[in-house]
Amino acid sequence: MSDEFIKVATKEIKDEIASIQKILESCKNDSDISKKCELIEKHFHKIKGLAPMMGKKDIGEISALNDILLNDIMEGKNLGGIYSILRESTVFIDSSMQGSKNNPREIIQKIKTKYSKYLD
């Protein structure tokens, strides 16, 4: 990938994360997430596609998992604890985009374990 693509993609992902954070700030619980899941999903969906193209496979995977879960909520499923998972995912992605070397396996495994029946 070219340096210019990486620069533009990094800015786009940071903008998407900022948008998710702003939405999450207006939420207090899972019920609030259910009401705003379509808004949140579109941002994770964009990150899901963009991150792997710039070599951020783990960010793409975390975003893809959240995208699936948010689509399930849009279909009317009740996913307990989703507010917490989305906040944790967003913090992880944001810190990773800032250069942190956090281990993504922990959050990926947490999501896969907690929501295994939705991700099979």
Total domains, the chain: 1
Answering whether pTM is above 0.75, one says yes
Report the alpha-carbon distance of residue 119 to residue 82 in Å, rounded: 14
Domain that holds residue 15: 3-119
pLDDT per position as a tens digit, 53-93? 999 999 999 999 999 999 999 999 999 999 999 999 999 99
CATH code of residue 33? 1.20.120
At 102, is the pLDDT very low, low, confident or very high (cuts 50, 70, 90)?
A: confident
- Cα-Cα-Cα-Cα dihedral sign, residues 99, 103, 106, 112: positive
Say whether pLDDT at 118 is over 90. yes
CA distance 14 to 117: 30
